[in-house]
Structure 1
Amino acid sequence: MHDPAHFLPSFVWRAARDGVIQYANPWACRYLGIAFPDLVGRHWKDFIHPDDIQPVLDALRQMRDGTLLRNVDVRLLRTDGAFRWHTLHLQARRDEEGEIGETVGVAIDIHECRHAWAMYEASERRLQAAFAGARMGAWEWDMKTRVVRMTAQLAALYSFPPGTEAVLLSEVWDRVAPEHREPFQRKLTEALRDGGPFEFDFVLEPGPGTRRWLRMRGHPEFDRQGVLTRVYGVSFDISMQRADEDRLSLSERRYRALVESTGALVWSADANGEIRPSGGEWEKFTGKSAEALSGWGWLEYIHPDDRERTQEAWLEALQQGTARTLTFRMYRRDGVYRMVQAHAAPLYDDEGNLQEWFGTTTDVTPRYEAQAAIEARSLRLTVAMQAANIHIASLELATWTLFLETGGERQIHETLTYDAALARVHPDDSATLDRYMRSLAAGDNPGGHFEFRVRNVHGEQWMQGSALLQRSKDGKPLRIIGSVIDITERKHMELMLRESGRRKDEFLAMLAHELRNPLAPLRTAIALLQKDQETEAHLRELIDLMRRQVEHMTRIVDDLLEVSRITQGRIALQVEPILVGTAVYHSVEAIAGMVEARSQTIHVDVSDATTWVCGDVTRLSQILVNVLNNASKYTPEHGRITVSVQADEASVSIVIADTGTGISADLLPKVFELFSQGERTLDRSNGGLGIGLSLVKKLVEMHKGTISVQSPGPGLGTTVTIRLPRLHHHERHSARALTEASMHEARKSLRILVVDDNRDAADSLAMLCESEGHVARVAYSSEEALESAPTLEPDVALLDIGLPDIDGYELARRLRRKGDTTPMLIAITGYGQAEDRLRAQSAGFDYHFVKPVNVDSLLKLLSSLTVTR
């Protein structure tokens, strides 16, 4: 009868006190590739990896201290020259004197288990590196316990204390900005109800004064009964697209499995399958005696869910009579079920009859835990990549080979050379991306996100990515790991918004210009009507009404054009030292008529008359007049307006306060927005487009100043504070005053040629000139003007610029030869920007008037001209 160890599918040996092998079972001989006679007499050190000899000696030394059992992990040399990991279970036997005489060893192959654990650790490192490269925060909600497990990056994003790995779900929701909590809850409820991946944005407010936009992408998980159990996902900061502000290192530090070294349970069974446990390992493992486990009693210690399946598999093995490996969960004495693997081998007699079975049962829980962790980790990574639509790339710097893992419903893995990958990038972006990658590979820190376009079957796509350099232990660059996401939709929206803004600015400019043409003849006609001294009183009132409305509409058109110019960056300030007191008094004088008409009082307080600022005289006047005009417009009759100037070492403050209608709290933050207005009555008695303060704010900022508006509320008045940098040391300057064009004796009558393709504008302007005693002739085209000029010999030519045949610039050159001074050329045009005035000057124009023409200024100019022939 053979020793039971003879049939075991495990490595079994016996060695003398000096380490010489006395016995080895057939399994050991086959593994070592040495016949039994040749094996006996050799030392056990010959078959153990040199680095593992000392741990074995230490185990043997400890056994001499009284312990007769000891386990140690070693690498055993296989017949093919490879070393494989085994758990060596050592048992000492004492001789007749009580001393240790020999040692019995049973080695269980754990190489695959060690390999699986190494794969798990490598996968963990790659996952951490990929999430760190993506700069995202990952999370997992346990909906049963209402606990959120999160990465360190997400904890920092939510301003949780360092080291926070788990919090209550309510703590996360409390950090959502109050005004976003209801939409957040609603969107999340809808997403979880639908059961699919979801994505939405919200505002996070982790602390006072700290707000940021987050984008959340997640995937819910339900149990078999359809009950929501957990939700996985990622969140990342989308408020700023810069690396220093959204660098999130995504890593998960959960699922740290502790693998314990366990012993093998040796057993035998008769031909009917009744088990006979061998040795005391069974009792140590289960806490039960061998008698309780004998026969079919061992089934009682198998997990209920595995018991029937294991029994059927064992009965099948008995029926077939072949070797079998069974895996199931078995009860341990500490109350924990462990995953074990049982190897059973049949023993036949010489006639081929089944005699008995021999086997071992090994605790393989660490291997299964590692495998389960790898699968779970891989599943979470897949879900996260699908939810975030992330593409992860790993560039091996040793070979410059790129491994690309594409997220989405269908995972795509691709390996290609760096040059081949760069060839897919848009030619305009490839050089920039290449410089970024080579700078990172060289150990530099280029910082920030990078953007580039790729061309594929879907057309041209915009991608945004971030990357980091992974180094070896000695600091050498190993690989670049990065992640990219598709931002094509966002880029298209940005381009659409930019184009929409450009078209809006062009429309405002064109609208303002086109509105000037009909206003010009209206203003001229009103001026003609006002010259009639015999007009009845009620008609004069109607004329005054029309004049006021035309002036009001002219101001609106001017504001529109100013906003368009500033938005397009087409205004340049002509700065010079300015006395603030003078600017304030001139502005108050400009609106004095309006204040008087409304029976209002205005009080001016300039404490220091020598306070200077550096600015554009015209624009500063425009700022003050606009604010004063608003103060008067929104202050009822008999109201009060105050203007005060205060100065310190750094700045000058101009404060304009009124006792008017005030501003409501909801409108106050929006008063500087374009087209922003408060609540209006149906009659819109206050008029305006809501662009005045927007224009004022832009002009103040161009002067490097600030403007603020305060109001206690409706009916409590408004205070506007304009703060400009103070000028302390200024050079002497010459201030140009508006004077008459000429102080020479005026001629009583001028010959005037009026050219405009707008017949109403031309005719009304000619009538206005004739009302002053001048001789006027009208031409509705450039060709007609050139025909009339030799006969008329005009002293003055009033020319429209936008003529259909020959424009006003060319007509001016033809009407007055180079070197001549007549006729005097005056541009009458809807184009009033600085470049338009310069172009008119270069074409030979002497004066430039913008439609609708200021009638008083034009008539004053004509009356002051002295023509010499």
Structure 2
Amino acid sequence: MAKDTGLTVEQATGSEADPAPARFLPAFVWRASRDGSIIYANPWAYRYLGALPDAVIGLNWRTFVHEKDVAAVLDAVRQTKDGPLLRNADVRLLRADGEFRWHTLHLQATRDQHGNIADTVGVAIDIHESRYAWALYEANERRLRAAFQAARMGGWEWNMKTHMVHMTAELAKIYALPEGVESATIEELSEHVVPEDREVYHRKLDEFLRRRAPFELDYRLKEELGPCRWLRMRGHPEYDAEGRLVRVYGVSFDISEQRIREEQLSQAQSAIEARSLRLRAAMQAAKLRIVTLDLSDWTLSRESAGDRHRIARMPYQVALCRVHADDRAALDRYVRRLVDGEAPRANFEFRIQHARREQWVSGSALLQRDDTGKPLRLIGSILDITARKRLELMLRESSRRKDEFLAMLAHELRNPLAPMRTAIALLQKSAQPDAREPDLLGLMQRQAEHMTRIVDDLLEVSRITQGRIALKHEPILVVTAVYHAVESVASLVEGRAQQIHVEVPDATSWICADATRMSQILVNILNNASKYTPEGGSIRITAQADAEWVSIVVADTGSGVSPELLPHIFDLFSQGERTLDRSEGGLGIGLSLVKKLVEMHDGRISVRSPGPGKGTSVTVDLPRLHHHERHSAAILSPLDAPRDASVRHILIVDDNRDAADSLAMLCETEDHVTRVAYSSAEALEAAQVFKPDVALLDIGLPGMDGYELAGALRAVCKAPLLLIAITGYGQAEDRIRAQAAGFDLHFVKPVNVESLLKSLSVRAS
């Protein structure tokens, strides 16, 4: 363990008073006379001793050598008397701080002319740290060997190049190898494994080594070596830079007693595990937890269904603080009544307040007592009923909205019926026509249209909810969509003395949408804005576009939306506050319908309001359409087509005589010539003589329906014939079927009179 300085003692000291090699040598160098007095020391020695040269020269070397090591120095000097002049000894030298440190002392004696020892040169190399480390290593080795022996554990190292296994004496003893054996081949040790385990042993070992990770393997030794013994091998493979397996080292130890105990307990453990598994599965399926309140210290423990070893403990008061504030006192009373021996109701319900959510639970508990009757603990089960509670609340809310909606629907439907009934009564009482008839007829027309809109909204939301609406997408110029929507509500806005402002800075923005549905979206929003804005208020509609989106904003100065209603503004049958005269509020269908239509166009809609009385703004965002070629804007409202003064011959077929006769009178007001038929057979007979160029056909005719009649009329009338379906069926499949039957136009009852007459004029031209 001595440090090699590269110099001999003679080279280190030389014969000069202050030799250069010794001056720079990092070692303790001195020369002593025959009587042991120091006659020279190098600078390193002065620093080590912490003394000046004057204080060192003349000292005896015994002064800084440990008293127990003096004999070793003298013995080394004596051995130079008749033999070589150089000897080594390990000694402890006193340092300036009072600590003795181990050094290897190289001693060389010089002789006088008579051959006697004249003086002695010493070079001491510090080996204190290495000697301490070696002593520590040896102590650890002794402890490790003792631990291996106590645990019946043997260490080993496989050399994969030589296939040799180097082992400790304890491992050789476990394998019943002869005393003194320190190594064997891998194959020789494998032969000690029982034959029925050998194939599995090699297969698993190869598999572990391919994983390039530490491994563990259990196997049995052959019975002829003694009683059947189980060994557990734990190994760690090492690989070189090229990834080749170089060695494997590890330990093997006897686990026979452990395996015997495991086999004895395996039937009982299997039953316990199976029962626990069934219990955990039931708890997990039911989201059930077991809670225990220890009454000795009022500590609550909770066992989770997912992990039987996961038990959370907390003081009762801490757990109680997690209960919703509204339920805390009632739950505490329930618990304390149980502790007092009372028997409250079987089950209890309360809410647990989490950071971001609220959890509803239901449970029951029993009191457990000791042999003397003293209460020990409460054991309860808690079931998560959050989903059920939410469903209950949703059903209650849905039921409330349904009741409100039905009441509102009854009122809204009675609103147009009442004036219509009054107008009819007035007309019936009037023996002679008077000046009030136009007003009464106008009133009836307005109320009928109002009822039609209510029914249309109900049908629309039903069709959209069931996914029975197909959009017909086409390029639409945004400015056209906005202005046509404004035109549609102009009369309503004027009637309420309101101001409407339109801002569309970019007149070249396009969207791809269904023209009819786009009109429905904007007109519905504008109608709402006018309805909830008082007389004299203002409405502003703006449209702006960026690279991806077109945003249409309708803002009003109306009654606004309360913070409570705002999150539910798009819910079906959700209405704002209504007065008794229903001047505000509605069925709660409009915005829900609008939202569904916007989403069908891959758009989004939002409503903002600072609060009641502060107005509302509705924003509709739709994907912008980018086209390099020009498009003509789609028409969103009927064209003001030039009327043709020519007389049309119109055949009207309907088994409802009132409907057929009133429609004929309407057409005759436009100077058209009409012929009415109340059955398909009558219609075919009349067509041969009347020779119509337009036919208005009811679809639901008895016998031959309107679809069959259309084909028959085409065959009878040689001249071009405009076929118009008049029906109560307005679904998409009804329109497709009418088109397939040869109809040119399709109108749903009650017919929009203005649109019908205008279509006749356009087609007639």
- After TM superposition, the score normalised by the length of structure 1 is 0.48
Asked whether the 8 Å contact 1:635–1:658 carries over to 2, the reply is yes
Deviation at 1:756, TM superposition (A): 2.0
Structure 2 CA distance for aligned equivalents of residues 222 and 742 of structure 1: 88
Change (3 A) 1:718 1:683: same
Deviation at 1:180, TM superposition (A): 7.2
User: Aligned ranges for residues 175-194 of structure 1 at < 5 Å?
Assistant: 175-176=322-323
Please tell me whether residue 578 in structure 1 is matched to residue 505 in structure 2. Answer: no
Asked whether the 8 Å contact 1:742–1:864 carries over to 2, the reply is no
- Mark the structure with the bigger radius of gyration: 2
Please tell me whether residue 801 in structure 1 is matched to residue 699 in structure 2. Answer: yes
Question: 1:713-736: CA deviations, max 9, x gaps?
Answer: 222211212222233456544545
Q: Specify the alignment match of 2:292 in structure 1.
A: 141
Identity %: 53
User: Aligned ranges for residues 708-719 of structure 1 at < 5 Å?
Assistant: 708-719=606-617
SS for the counterpart of 2:354 is strand
User: Aligned ranges for residues 832-843 of structure 1 at < 5 Å?
Assistant: 832-843=730-741
Deviation at 1:684, TM superposition (A): 1.5
Structure 2 CA distance for aligned equivalents of residues 760 and 559 of structure 1: 27
Q: Specify the alignment match of 2:366 in structure 1.
A: 220
Q: Specify the alignment match of 1:633 in structure 2.
A: 531
Deviation at 1:120, TM superposition (A): 6.7
- Which residue type is aligned with residue 233 of structure 1? S
Change (3 A) 1:738 1:149: closer
Structure 2 CA distance for aligned equivalents of residues 189 and 767 of structure 1: 84
Structure 1 CA distance for aligned equivalents of residues 522 and 635 of structure 2: 19
- Which residue type is aligned with residue 378 of structure 2? R
Q: Specify the alignment match of 1:609 in structure 2.
A: 507
SS for the counterpart of 1:165 is strand
Q: Specify the alignment match of 2:315 in structure 1.
A: 168
Q: State which of 829, 833, 848 in structure 1 corresponds to 2:727.
A: 829
Question: 1:793-835: CA deviations, max 9, x gaps?
Answer: 3222211112233321122122222995544211011222222
User: Aligned ranges for residues 512-531 of structure 1 at < 5 Å?
Assistant: none
Structure 2 CA distance for aligned equivalents of residues 759 and 176 of structure 1: 71
Give unpaired runs (5+ residues) of structure 2.
1-148, 154-226, 229-259
Structure 1 CA distance for aligned equivalents of residues 330 and 658 of structure 2: 58
Q: State which of 377, 380, 386 in structure 2 corresponds to 1:232.
A: 380
Q: Specify the alignment match of 2:303 in structure 1.
A: 151
Please tell me whether residue 697 in structure 1 is matched to residue 595 in structure 2. Answer: yes
- Which residue type is aligned with residue 503 of structure 2? D
- Which residue type is aligned with residue 597 of structure 2? L
- Which residue type is aligned with residue 588 of structure 2? G
Q: State which of 853, 858, 869 in structure 1 corresponds to 2:751.
A: 853
SS for the counterpart of 1:578 is strand
Asked whether the 8 Å contact 1:598–1:638 carries over to 2, the reply is yes
SS for the counterpart of 1:753 is strand
Change (3 A) 1:539 1:744: closer
Q: Specify the alignment match of 1:558 in structure 2.
A: 456
SS for the counterpart of 1:817 is helix
User: Aligned ranges for residues 448-487 of structure 1 at < 5 Å?
Assistant: none
Deviation at 1:687, TM superposition (A): 6.5
Deviation at 1:617, TM superposition (A): 2.0
SS for the counterpart of 2:715 is coil
Deviation at 1:559, TM superposition (A): 1.0
Change (3 A) 1:570 1:226: farther
Structure 1 CA distance for aligned equivalents of residues 551 and 707 of structure 2: 44
SS for the counterpart of 2:562 is coil
Deviation at 1:667, TM superposition (A): 2.1
User: Aligned ranges for residues 5-404 of structure 1 at < 5 Å?
Assistant: 125-126=273-274, 129-130=277-278, 133=281, 135=284, 136=287, 138-142=289-293, 144=295, 145-151=297-303, 165-176=312-323, 198=347, 204-207=352-355, 209-210=356-357, 213=359, 216-221=362-367, 223=369, 229-236=377-384, 239=387
Q: State which of 537, 544, 547 in structure 2 corresponds to 1:646.
A: 544
Structure 2 CA distance for aligned equivalents of residues 779 and 631 of structure 1: 46
Asked whether the 8 Å contact 1:749–1:774 carries over to 2, the reply is yes
Please tell me whether residue 749 in structure 1 is matched to residue 647 in structure 2. Answer: yes
Change (3 A) 1:636 1:536: farther
Structure 2 CA distance for aligned equivalents of residues 539 and 687 of structure 1: 32
Deviation at 1:599, TM superposition (A): 0.6
- Which residue type is aligned with residue 788 of structure 1? A
Change (3 A) 1:861 1:137: closer
Q: Specify the alignment match of 2:120 in structure 1.
A: none
Structure 2 CA distance for aligned equivalents of residues 852 and 130 of structure 1: 65
Structure 2 CA distance for aligned equivalents of residues 150 and 857 of structure 1: 72
- Which residue type is aligned with residue 589 of structure 1? E
Deviation at 1:637, TM superposition (A): 0.5
Deviation at 1:681, TM superposition (A): 2.0
Structure 1 CA distance for aligned equivalents of residues 735 and 706 of structure 2: 13
Structure 1 CA distance for aligned equivalents of residues 499 and 640 of structure 2: 38
Q: Specify the alignment match of 1:60 in structure 2.
A: none
Please tell me whether residue 815 in structure 1 is matched to residue 713 in structure 2. Answer: yes
- Which residue type is aligned with residue 138 of structure 1? R
Structure 2 CA distance for aligned equivalents of residues 689 and 786 of structure 1: 45
Asked whether the 8 Å contact 2:291–2:303 carries over to 1, the reply is no
Asked whether the 8 Å contact 2:290–2:302 carries over to 1, the reply is yes
Question: 1:107-149: CA deviations, max 9, x gaps?
Answer: xxxxx99999777755664455445545355332316344321
Q: How many residue pairs align between the two structures?
A: 485
SS for the counterpart of 1:768 is helix
SS for the counterpart of 1:713 is coil
Change (3 A) 1:716 1:138: same
Q: State which of 545, 558, 562 in structure 1 corresponds to 2:443.
A: 545
Asked whether the 8 Å contact 1:747–1:866 carries over to 2, the reply is no
Asked whether the 8 Å contact 1:708–1:722 carries over to 2, the reply is yes
Structure 2 CA distance for aligned equivalents of residues 575 and 179 of structure 1: 53
Asked whether the 8 Å contact 1:613–1:726 carries over to 2, the reply is yes
Structure 2 CA distance for aligned equivalents of residues 225 and 751 of structure 1: 104
Greater shift, 225-234 or 656-665, is seen at 225-234
Structure 2 CA distance for aligned equivalents of residues 745 and 537 of structure 1: 29
Structure 1 CA distance for aligned equivalents of residues 327 and 717 of structure 2: 72
Change (3 A) 1:640 1:736: closer
Structure 2 CA distance for aligned equivalents of residues 236 and 655 of structure 1: 44
- Which residue type is aligned with residue 532 of structure 2? Y
SS for the counterpart of 1:769 is helix
Structure 2 CA distance for aligned equivalents of residues 642 and 184 of structure 1: 55
Q: Specify the alignment match of 2:567 in structure 1.
A: 669
- Which residue type is aligned with residue 206 of structure 1? H
- After TM superposition, the score normalised by the length of structure 2 is 0.54
Change (3 A) 1:672 1:176: farther
Structure 2 CA distance for aligned equivalents of residues 183 and 705 of structure 1: 48
Asked whether the 8 Å contact 1:141–1:169 carries over to 2, the reply is no
Structure 2 CA distance for aligned equivalents of residues 187 and 834 of structure 1: 61
Change (3 A) 1:703 1:222: same
SS for the counterpart of 1:724 is strand
Please tell me whether residue 720 in structure 1 is matched to residue 650 in structure 2. Answer: no
Structure 2 CA distance for aligned equivalents of residues 683 and 866 of structure 1: 46
- Which residue type is aligned with residue 150 of structure 1? R
SS for the counterpart of 1:674 is coil
Please tell me whether residue 768 in structure 1 is matched to residue 666 in structure 2. Answer: yes
Asked whether the 8 Å contact 1:612–1:728 carries over to 2, the reply is yes
Question: 1:573-599: CA deviations, max 9, x gaps?
Answer: 122333322211221121111111111
